[in-house]
Amino acid sequence: MIDRTPAPVDDRPHVVVVGAGFAGLACASELGDTNIRVTVIDRRNYHLFVPLLYQVATAALSPADIAEPIRRIVSRYPNVDVLLGEVTGIDATARHVLLADDGYVPYDHLVLATGSTHSYFGHDEWEPLAPGLKTIEDARQIRTRLLLAFEQAEMSPDPDEQKRLTTVVVVGGGPTGVEMAGAVAELAKWTLARDFRRIRPANAEIVLIEAGPRLLSTFPEPLSAYTEDALRRLGVSVLTETPVEAVTAEGVTAGGRFIPAGTVIWGAGVRASPAGRWLGVETDRAGRVRVGPDLGVPGFEGVYALGDTALALDDDQRPLPGLAQVAKQQGEHLGRQLAAAIPHGRPMEPFRFKDRGNMATIGRNAAVADFGRMRLKGFVAWVLWAIVHVWLLVGFEKRARVTLQWLWRYLTFQRGARLITGETKAPVSASEANQAQRREAGRAG
Amino acid sequence: MIDRTPAPVDDRPHVVVVGAGFAGLACASELGDTNIRVTVIDRRNYHLFVPLLYQVATAALSPADIAEPIRRIVSRYPNVDVLLGEVTGIDATARHVLLADDGYVPYDHLVLATGSTHSYFGHDEWEPLAPGLKTIEDARQIRTRLLLAFEQAEMSPDPDEQKRLTTVVVVGGGPTGVEMAGAVAELAKWTLARDFRRIRPANAEIVLIEAGPRLLSTFPEPLSAYTEDALRRLGVSVLTETPVEAVTAEGVTAGGRFIPAGTVIWGAGVRASPAGRWLGVETDRAGRVRVGPDLGVPGFEGVYALGDTALALDDDQRPLPGLAQVAKQQGEHLGRQLAAAIPHGRPMEPFRFKDRGNMATIGRNAAVADFGRMRLKGFVAWVLWAIVHVWLLVGFEKRARVTLQWLWRYLTFQRGARLITGETKAPVSASEANQAQRREAGRAG
């Protein structure tokens, strides 16, 4: 086993942060310019602004618009190092983080901020058929599948098959599902509308499926109702109280009904990454590690869990939601506490979440925002959403680039990133080939 | 076999264009708004602006900045259809283009503009070790390998291995090789310079290898000499009259000397795509199909070859070079001739290439331009190069986006697209692991 610590070892205390998402990066930044050695370990070389990933999946933005190299972000802090590596486990006795390449990194304090992935509720076989949206590769794959389905529909001589291929089912009525459904509807109805001859993308069917009674269940009811209306006006069919029963290459069965579909996108269910397994502790059903008020993992001194990895409770003993702002605030809090506690021995103060309000966007001129007593919807909420999200991007150039692309899209209804790249073979159903052959036979005969 | 013609068949003459590069797209556009049915077949859904692909490979631009959906480009012409498909052959007797998915497209006139790929001079086993630069996937792969090699160097405890991993060898002293070498040098020396702790990317070795006596052999000698000087000033080692003898996972042997290298990029040799094999005709050594003065393939009535696919001769019986401007002019010429010849029976006029001059860029403030009697180099040539290349991009938004990114890069030395995506495992040498283990053993002992 090889010690992979990036910096020369010295006698400063060493904080290892696993994961450079909102939580990990906030924590590392707070520890910047202190007399503590910090190592950030991530599988990727970039921090991804996940809230805008659906725009990459729907051809509105490029991956580089929403991703920033981790090294670049922390390069201003000489005490923070970055290691590109895959963590496979933790040796809590030796205080080692174990890496996939037979290496390890020793730690004095360990911050686990490894995020979450989608949960298929025990049906992992649905994953290849209905990709979720957590990584750049996911987004590229969804973009390729969406665009390819329309290309295949254009080639298909069979109206039923054309209809199936241009039907997009989005599973999950949370913010991700709502945003995806709205963006796909806009892509089909406006961007692709004039580019095809046989099919009419404007007639494409977009179906949003939610098992619960309403969309955006964490928002106030009137905003849920507005969201459903706004999506319907975009031409999205919204099915609530409709649990998904099966996903196949041909479509989705939900609420007892089979919906033939060319593309299925998964936006439901969250499962924490395996940090709990690494520690060998009990987790909740979503795989989250229970933490104390100071975000420490009970029984593991100097080990902390943040963001989607952690099950933290508020003052009413309710779990904090899996939101970017929770992750970011936890990271900032823990970073500040460690910066004070490690050199000065000050006790760790408990974390308190300050709710800064929730937003979700539906499409052009339509969004919802909930700030407790103040609620916004429609154009004002949408402009606010856009400003906030551009502002939250790292770096001036990204802000300028994204603003430019959004203005352009707003004025022209076009999207700049309609590329089918990588694997270009989507699952084509047997029925298509059959139908086409039958038609061909009919012609010849 | 299924007829895949996108438009309903009618009695208009049907021109099928295979390949939506510079040649194919120019030809299809000239045939727009005529009473001729046109079908453009391409494996990709986008037209790629290949001259700027090296900027995607070196993290300066995103793929979507230089690619535009073919459908979008021709959507203004109701008589031009697009088919996303892989051509596998031609049945010249039946006048069918054969597709990989057991389909075909019948044609009256056939335009072959399928471009070229890199040639490894009989050493195809070098391809996975030294990727060329023809597709978006190639560019992403080179970007990932380059960035990953620096990450691995940062993790390596062995100075020799660090040196190897940060050495980049570019093979081929034509415009592609020169542009790649310059861009890689700038990436290492300026963009990555401050982001690492153990290694010094500014000391990275960039080696440009050319078998012939000078770089940019199609340019006048003084511009070649300037190019070599400019690259040397950027810190690039230029080796001319140095043929490559072997490529391994450890490096390159050239001119009898072994150069350990972490990344090898292939910019030498061109081989035409297999259109000649589809027709069963004899080709030249580069695989190009001989065409007559009207760009027709002798012996195949109504079949034409353009751009890198064609071996066309100028008035002095010298082959025309494989340049974008040749391809574009041939496409425009053939489109205009077909538009006149098909409905009106007018004879086809011979093609004459008008040389608009040649440009190649080396790096910041450094480029060369050759307009026959006028030659430019340095800052003026570089600004001209940038203006011309932004202008040639399709679409206003792309122009604005690329201009913004170039300005940003010029002012800050930063690059926006430093993403390691897709396959993140580059070939790591055995020696690295050995060295590291030895060091570890030394420590333990």
CATH superfamily placement of domain A2-43+85-118+270-344? FAD/NAD(P)-binding domain (3.50.50.60)
For CA atoms B261, B262, B268, B272, the dihedral sign is: positive
Query: Pick from B7, B44, B151: which is nearest to A420 by CB?
Result: B44
Which one from B179, B186, B205, B210 is the annotated catalytic residue?
B179
Nearest residue to B53 (alpha-carbon basis) of B180, B209, B190, B231 = B180
Residue B371 token pair: 């307009």
pLDDT value of residue B439: 39
Does the pLDDT at position B314 exceed 70?
A: yes
What's the pLDDT band for B393 if we cut at 50, 70, 90?
confident
Does the pLDDT at position A395 exceed 80?
A: no
DSSP A65: G
For CA atoms B294, B295, B297, B301, the dihedral sign is: negative
DSSP A429: P
pLDDT in tens, A81-99: 999 999 999 999 999 999 9
Give B407 to chain A, closest Cα distance, Å: 10
Contact residues, chain A, for B6 at CB < 8 Å: 154-155, 197-198
Whole-number CA gyration radius for chain B: 23
**CB–CB contact A398 B418 (8 Å):** no
What percent of chain B is predicted at pLDDT more than 70? 95
Do the Cβ atoms of A214 and A228 come closer than 8 Å?
Answer: yes
Contact residues, chain A, for B56 at CB < 8 Å: none
pLDDT value of residue A193: 87
Which segment of A419-433, B40-54, B352-366 scores lowest on mean pLDDT? A419-433
pLDDT value of residue A423: 52
Whole-angstrom distance, CA of residue B303 vs CA of residue B108: 9
Q: What is the pTM of this model?
A: 0.88
Whole-angstrom distance, CA of residue A112 vs CA of residue A17: 6
Q: What is the 3-state secondary structure (H, E, C) of A280-313?
A: CCCECCCCCEECCCCCECCCCCCEEECHHHEECE
Concatenated DSSP letters of B207-236: EEE-SSSSSSTTS-HHHHHHHHHHHHHTTE
Contact residues, chain B, for A436 at CB < 8 Å: 2
CATH number of this structure's domain B124-267+415-433, picked from the four choices 3.40.50.1980, 1.10.10.60, 3.50.50.100, 1.10.443.10: 3.50.50.100
Residue A87 token pair: 């963590």
pLDDT value of residue A425: 43
Do the Cβ atoms of A393 and A400 come closer than 8 Å?
Answer: no
Q: Which SS3 state, helix, strand or coil, does residue A150 take?
A: helix
Inter-axis angle of helices A221-233 and A175-186, nearest 10: 20
Q: What is the residue-averaged pLDDT of chain B?
A: 90
Give A92 to chain B, closest Cα distance, Å: 21
pLDDT in tens, B318-330: 999 999 999 999 9
pLDDT in tens, B106-143: 999 999 999 999 899 899 999 999 999 999 999 999 99
Strand intervals (E) in B79-204: 80-84, 87-91, 96-99, 103-106, 109-112, 116-118, 167-171
Does the pLDDT at position A435 exceed 80?
A: no
Region at B370 (left for phi over 0; alpha for psi -120 to 50; beta for the rest): beta
Topology alike, domains A2-43+85-118+270-344 and A124-268+357-427: yes
Interface test with A, best of B48, B81, B84 (most A CBs within 10 A): B84
Q: Where are the domains of chain A?
A: 2-43+85-118+270-344, 124-268+357-427
Rounded to an integer, the average pLDDT of A8-26 is 93
**CB–CB contact A155 B67 (8 Å):** no
Q: Supply φ then ψ for residue B81, to 5 degrees.
A: -110, 160
Whole-angstrom distance, CA of residue B172 vs CA of residue A64: 29
Active-site annotation of A, residues: 179
Q: For chain B, how many helices (H) and strands (E)?
A: 12, 25
Contact residues, chain A, for B141 at CB < 8 Å: none
Nearest residue to B54 (alpha-carbon basis) of B361, B355, B277 = B361
**CB–CB contact A64 B419 (8 Å):** yes
pLDDT value of residue A421: 80
What's the pLDDT band for A436 if we cut at 50, 70, 90?
very low
Whole-angstrom distance, CA of residue B245 vs CA of residue A208: 58
Region at B62 (left for phi over 0; alpha for psi -120 to 50; beta for the rest): beta
Query: Pick from A45, A64, A195: which is nearest to B151 by CB?
Result: A45
Residue A75 token pair: 């390069």
Whole-angstrom distance, CA of residue A74 vs CA of residue A26: 10
**What ipTM was estimated for this complex?**
0.84
Which segment of A123-127, A324-328, B420-424 scores lowest on mean pLDDT? B420-424
What percent of chain A is predicted at pLDDT more than 70? 95
Do the Cβ atoms of B376 and B368 come closer than 8 Å?
Answer: yes
Compute, in degrees rounded to 10, the torsion defined by CA atoms B339, B345, B347, B352: 0
Q: How far is CA B216 from CA B58, B210, B225, in A?
A: 21, 10, 9
What's the pLDDT band for B406 if we cut at 50, 70, 90?
confident
Q: Supply φ then ψ for residue B22, to 5 degrees.
A: -60, -45
**CB–CB contact B397 A417 (8 Å):** no
Burial B116-129 (b: 16+ CB within 10 A, else e): bbbbbeeeeebeeb
**CB–CB contact B7 A416 (8 Å):** no
Nearest residue to A296 (alpha-carbon basis) of A336, A328, A334, A353 = A334
CATH number of this structure's domain B2-118+270-344, picked from the four choices 3.50.50.60, 3.40.50.2030, 1.20.200.10, 3.40.50.2300: 3.50.50.60
Q: What is the residue-averaged pLDDT of chain A?
A: 90
Compute, in degrees rounded to 10, the torsion defined by CA atoms B53, B58, B60, B61: 30
Q: What is the CATH number of domain A124-268+357-427?
A: 3.50.50.100
Whole-angstrom distance, CA of residue A361 vs CA of residue A139: 18
What's the pLDDT band for B427 if we cut at 50, 70, 90?
very low
pLDDT in tens, B165-199: 999 999 999 999 999 999 999 999 988 988 898 89
HSE (CB half, 13 Å, CA atoms) of B153? 31
Whole-angstrom distance, CA of residue B416 vs CA of residue B330: 36
Interface test with B, best of A161, A195, A429 (most B CBs within 10 A): A195
Q: Which SS3 state, helix, strand or coil, does residue A258 take?
A: strand
pLDDT in tens, A262-297: 999 999 988 998 999 999 999 998 999 999 999 999
Contact residues, chain A, for B414 at CB < 8 Å: 72, 397
Does the pLDDT at position B99 exceed 50?
A: yes
Does the pLDDT at position B433 exceed 70?
A: no
**CB–CB contact B72 A414 (8 Å):** yes
The chain B residue lying nearest A72, using CA atoms, is B195
pLDDT value of residue A392: 87
> What's at B380, amino acid-wise?
V
Length of chain A: 445
Give A267 to chain B, closest Cα distance, Å: 22
Query: Pick from A137, A195, A439: which is nearest to B422 by CB?
Result: A137
Whole-angstrom distance, CA of residue A360 vs CA of residue B376: 54
What's the pLDDT band for B423 if we cut at 50, 70, 90?
low
Rounded to an integer, the average pLDDT of A106-119 is 95
Whole-angstrom distance, CA of residue A207 vs CA of residue A182: 10
Query: Pick from B64, B157, B412: which is nearest to A419 by CB?
Result: B64
Query: Pick from A136, A416, A420: which is nearest to B45 by CB?
Result: A420
Residue with tokens 């970011």: A328
pLDDT value of residue B425: 43
**How deeply is B317 buried, as exposed, middle or buried, from its count of CB atoms within 10 A (0-12, 13-18, 19+)?**
exposed
pLDDT value of residue B426: 39
Whole-angstrom distance, CA of residue B412 vs CA of residue B406: 10
Does the pLDDT at position A226 exceed 70?
A: yes
pLDDT in tens, A292-318: 999 999 999 999 999 999 999 998 999
Does the pLDDT at position B441 exceed 80?
A: no
Interface test with A, best of B1, B42, B62, B190 (most A CBs within 10 A): B62
Residue A2 token pair: 């090889």
